[in-house]
C-alpha cells in the first residue's frame, strides 16, 4: 500500500511509519520538517503546513491516510476534502479526552462526547482540546464515511515521548535514593505503549478497519504498584519508593498528572477507565510492562539522566515533601 502520514515527525508518527515500513508498505510523510532527526530512510518527505500547503499533494494517489496531528475541524476538513474521495482508508488519531468527564458506563465508544460553545475557536486549552478533537472526528466520519477509522488513545508512552508524562518514573528510579510515590500500590492506572498503538494503526490500515476505537491500556489489570515495581526492577539503582497518602498529596497541593505523572486521585480518573475491549477484539495487543519501562528508560538515558524533565517533581521539591512526610510518620509512631 501507499500510505500518507500527515504529521509523522514526533512521537507517534515515527512509530507508525516504522510499523508500516516493517510491513512492506510505501510511506509519504507530509509535515513542516521541523524535526529532521526523525526522518526515515525510504520515506518520501513532503515539506509543508497542512493549513496552507496541501496543494503540494494535489493529484497524488494514496491508498490510505493516517492523520496524527489534527486539532481544529476547519483544518482537518481541508485534508479530508482533498484526499478522502480517492482513498480506501482515512485514519484519524483522536483522544479519549473527547468524552464527557466523568465518563459514564458502559465507558465505551458509545459514551457521550464533549461539546464546545464556540466550534470555530482555534486555540488548544484543557477545556477546548477534547471537544475540538470530537469535532475533528465528525469531519472525518462525514467526509470519509465507512472508510473512516477514528482511534482514541489514552496516555501514550514510550520511546520519543516529548512530554515525560510516563518517562518520569523510570527516569526517577534510575537516579537512586528515596522516591516519592502517590497513593496506594493497588491504585489502577492506564496507558498504551506507542509501539502497540502504532502496530494497531498499521494493522488496521492493512485490514481496512473502520469505525471508532478506544486504544488505551487495560485499567483493571495495571496498577501504580506494578509500574513502580517495574521501574525499580529495570533501573536497578537501589532506589526505594516511599508511598505517601492521597490526603498528603492534596494537603501539599502536589499536582496530579503533571508533578505526579500517569496518576490521578481515586474518583477523579474516570477517563482512564475508557474500555479498549473493542480495539482488542480488532487486533490491539499489549507488550509486557517491563518492555515499555525498559524502552522508556533507554530513551531517557540516551538523552541524559541529568536533564530537566517536562513532567514530574523537581528533585528539590521532592526532597522537601519527603522530609515533611517522614516527619509526619515519625510523629504518628
The 10s digit of each residue's pLDDT in 268-291 is 999 999 999 999 999 999 999 999
Q: How confident is the model at residue 332 (pLDDT cuts 50, 70, 90)?
A: confident
Residue 38 pLDDT: 66
- With pLDDT > 70 as the criterion, what percentage of the chain qualifies? 99
CA distance 17 to 213: 20
Q: How many domains does the chain have?
A: 2
CATH number for the domain harbouring residue 131: 3.40.50.720
CATH at 257: 3.90.25
- Mean pLDDT within 23-43: 86
Together in a domain, 118 and 183: no
Q: Is the pLDDT of residue 295 over 70?
A: yes
209 and 225 within one domain: no
pLDDT band at 219 (very low <50, low <70, confident <90, very high): confident
Residues 327 and 185 grouped into a single domain: yes
Residue 181 sits in the same domain as residue 153: no
Q: Are 223 and 152 in contact (CB under 8 A)?
A: no
pLDDT number for residue 9: 85
Q: Determine, yes or no, domain membership for 163.
A: no
Per-residue buried b or exposed e for 150-180, using 16+ beta carbons within 10 Å of the residue's own CB:
bbbbbbbbbbbbebbbbbbbbbbbbeeeebb
Grid coordinates representing 253 are: 497541593
Whether 100 shows a pLDDT value over 90: the answer reads yes
Output phi, psi for 155, to 5 deg: -70, 120
User: What band does 40 get if pLDDT is binned at 50, 70 and 90?
Assistant: confident
Domain final position from 215, 232, 251: 215
Do both 145 and 198 map to the same domain? yes
Compare 188 and 42 and report the one with higher pLDDT.
188
Q: How many whole angstroms separate alpha carbon 274 and alpha carbon 141?
A: 21
For the chain, report the end-to-end CA distance as a whole number of angstroms: 66
Higher pLDDT, 157 or 104: 157
Say yes or no to pLDDT of 243 above 90: yes
Q: Residue 283 domain-assigned?
A: no
Are 102 and 175 contained in the same domain? no
Please report the pLDDT score of residue 70 as a whole number: 96
Range of the domain at 204: 2-158+190-215
Question: What residues contact 314, with CB distance under 8 A and at least 6 apart?
Answer: none
Residue 120 lies in a domain: yes
Residue 275 lies in a domain: no
Question: What confidence tens digit (pLDDT) does each residue in 189-217 have?
Answer: 999 999 999 999 999 999 999 999 999 99
Q: How far apart are CA 235 and CA 175, in angstroms?
A: 8
What is the pLDDT at residue 36?
Answer: 72
Peptide bond into 183 cis (omega under 30): no
C-beta pairs of 107-114 under 8 Å, 24+ apart in sequence: 107/270, 107/273, 107/274, 107/275, 108/214, 108/274, 108/275, 108/277, 108/278, 109/152, 109/211, 109/212, 109/213, 109/214, 109/278, 111/274, 113/137
Of the CA atoms within 13 Å of residue 303, those in its CB half-sphere come to 16
**Confidence band for 37, pLDDT divided at 50, 70 and 90:** low
Same domain, 145 and 24: yes
236: alpha, beta or left, given left = phi > 0 and alpha = psi -120 to 50? left
Is 276 domain-assigned?
A: no
Co-location of 315 and 179 in the same domain: yes
pTM for the model stands at 0.96
**CA-CA distances (angstroms) from residue 87 to 137, 145, 198, 201, 310?**
17, 11, 20, 16, 39
- Spatial distance between the Cα atoms of 68 and 324, rounded to a whole number of angstroms: 43
Indicate whether 175 and 196 sit together in one domain. no
Same domain, yes or no: 264 and 297: yes
Q: Convert the pLDDT of each residue in 131-187 to its tens digit.
A: 999 999 999 999 999 999 999 999 999 999 999 999 999 999 999 999 999 999 999
- Same domain for 174 and 133: no
Q: Backbone dihedral region of 9: left (phi > 0), alpha (psi from -120 to 50 degrees) or beta?
A: alpha
Average pLDDT over residues 58-72: 96
State whether 243 and 131 are in the same domain. Answer: no
Amino acid at each position: 500500500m501507499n500510505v500518507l502520514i500527515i504529521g509523522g515527525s514526533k512521537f507517534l508518527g515515527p512509530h507508525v511509519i516504522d510499523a508500516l515500513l516493517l510491513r512492506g508498505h510505501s510511506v509519504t510523510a507530509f509535515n513542516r520538517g521541523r524535526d529532521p532527526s526523525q526522518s526515515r530512510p525510504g520515506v518520501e518527505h513532503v515539506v509543508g503546513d497542512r493549513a496552507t500547503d496541501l496543494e503540494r499533494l494535489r493529484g497524488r494517489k494514496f491508498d490510505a491516510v493516517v492523520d496524527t496531528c489534527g486539532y481544529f475541524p476547519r483544518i482537518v476538513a481541508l485534508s479530508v476534502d482533498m484526499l478522502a474521495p480517492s482513498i480506501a482508508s482515512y485514519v484519524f488519531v483522536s483522544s479519549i479526552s473527547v468524552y464527557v468527564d466523568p465518563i459514564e458506563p458502559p465507558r465505551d465508544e458509545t459514551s457521550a462526547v464533549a461539546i464546545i460553545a464556540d466550534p470555530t475557536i482555534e486555540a488548544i486549552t484543557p477545556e477546548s482540546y477534547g471537544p475540538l478533537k470530537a469535532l475533528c472526528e465528525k469531519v472525518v466520519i462525514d467526509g470519509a464515511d465507512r472508510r473512516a477509522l477514528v482511534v482514541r488513545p489514552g496516555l501514550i508512552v514510550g520511546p520519543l515521548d516529548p512530554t515525560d508524562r510516563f518517562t518520569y518514573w523510570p527516569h526517577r528510579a534510575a537516579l537512586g535514593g528515596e522516591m516519592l510515590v502517590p497513593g496506594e500500590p493497588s491504585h489502577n492506572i492506564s496507558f498504551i505503549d506507542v509501539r502497540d498503538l502504532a502496530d494497531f494503526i498499521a494493522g488496521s490500515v492493512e485490514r481496512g478497519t473502520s469505525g471508532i476505537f478506544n486504544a488505551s491500556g487495560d485499567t483493571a489489570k495495571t496498577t501504580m504498584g506494578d509500574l513502580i515495581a517495574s521501574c525499580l526492577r529495570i533501573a536497578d539503582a537501589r532506589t526505594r519508593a516511599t508511598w505517601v497518602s492521597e490526603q498528603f498529596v492534596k494537603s501539599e497541593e502536589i499536582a496530579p498528572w503533571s508533578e505526579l505523572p500517569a496518576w490521578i486521585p481515586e474518583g477523579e480518573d474516570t477517563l482512564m477507565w475508557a474500555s479498549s475491549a473493542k480495539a482488542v477484539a480488532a487486533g490491539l495487543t499489549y507488550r509486557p510492562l517491563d518492555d515499555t519501562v525498559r524502552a522508556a528508560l533507554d530513551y531517557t538515558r540516551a538523552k541524559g539522566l541529568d536533564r530537566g524533565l517536562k513532567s514530574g517533581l523537581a528533585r528539590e521539591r521532592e526532597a522537601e515533601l519527603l522530609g515533611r512526610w517522614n516527619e509526619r510518620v515519625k510523629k504518628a509512631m
